Amino acid sequence: MQAKSKEVPELNKDWLYQKYIVEKIDRKEISRILSVKMCTLEKYLYKFKLFKIDRFPKILLEQQKSFLYGCLLGDGLMRQWKYKNNAYFSVTHGIKQKDYLYYKYELMKNLCGMSPKKRKHWDKRFKKYYEDYHFYTTTNPLFTEIWKKFYVDNVKVVTEEILSNIDEFALAIWYMDDGSISYRKHILKNGTQTKYFNSITLATCGFTYDEHLLMQMWFKERWNIEIKIRPHCGKFILVITNKENMEKFINIVQSYIIPLMQYKIGA
């Protein structure tokens, strides 16, 4: 006699609706919780017609939109799956910036299907293992719209339209991602050692010289900040060296700089 298949008690519609739709737990995590195979879980999701329910928002909060624009000028990435119509957003940071990654995750949490994960990967260039933290969102038409603005032939670009969406919060995110501040030490006549700002840098190496000219003009017109274009390892970066302009920049972003990044504004 053939044995009857054993029902999994937790796999009922109400429980799955709560976990998958309301709490937005991803399928891999649910299958782990229940100790069932992914194919078994998906069978029940189809059975209860939960795959047809849209779990994610159709509108970006203004803060989320600003964050995405700032982060995409910095460390953020958007990609489009080969066999899907829409794009997704992803962020990766090293172990030392784990808290910063979780800060970003909290901003985008309602659009994510999974919590951040720790990864270990082999770097062929340096022949060693590296660890990092990573999260990505689900695919969504909201991201596709932004992806089309930021990527041309899968290369990230900067345009006037993109820069017109950079507000104070977005600028702070961009700076926390790719910015740095340097100091010079000065010894007073009484022997006291002090330090003062020497320069603020945005590591914009991924953009062309023409895009740097556009960003330079935008900083002047939008924020009245003089910023220089400097060569760096065969590419270009943006640098503020004038004390007055540095103070202007810090005044713009400082209220949005999170505690663990305060060192970037000299705090």
Q: Is the pLDDT assigned to residue 55 strictly greater than 70?
A: no
User: Structurally, how many domains does the chain consist of?
Assistant: 3
Both 127 and 200 in one domain: the answer is no
CA distance 79 to 139: 9
What pLDDT score does 51 carry? 64
Could you read off the pLDDT of 181-210 as tens digits, one per residue?
987 766 666 667 666 668 999 999 999 999
Could you read off the pLDDT of 215-248 as tens digits, one per residue?
999 999 999 999 999 999 999 999 999 989 999 9
pTM for this predicted structure: 0.78
Q: Is the pLDDT assigned to residue 58 strictly greater than 80?
A: no
222-226 contact pairs (CB < 8 A, 24+): 222/163, 222/166, 223/248, 223/249, 223/252, 224/248, 225/249
Domain with 189 in it: what CATH number? 3.10.28.10
Both 27 and 90 in one domain: the answer is no
Both 70 and 147 in one domain: the answer is yes
Burial of residue 35 (number of CB atoms within 10 Å: 0-12, 13-18, 19+): exposed
CA distance 242 to 214: 20
Burial of residue 202 (number of CB atoms within 10 Å: 0-12, 13-18, 19+): buried
In percent, the amount of the chain with pLDDT more than 90 equals 58
How many Å is the maximal CA-CA distance in the chain?
Answer: 97
Domain-located, residue 43? yes
Both 79 and 149 in one domain: the answer is yes
What pLDDT score does 94 carry? 92
Question: Residues 207, 238: contact at Cβ < 8 Å?
Answer: no
Both 251 and 184 in one domain: the answer is yes
Structural domain boundaries, residue 227: 174-265
Domain-located, residue 234? yes
Could you read off the pLDDT of 149-171 as tens digits, one per residue?
999 999 999 999 999 999 999 99
In percent, the amount of the chain with pLDDT more than 70 equals 88
Domain-located, residue 169? no
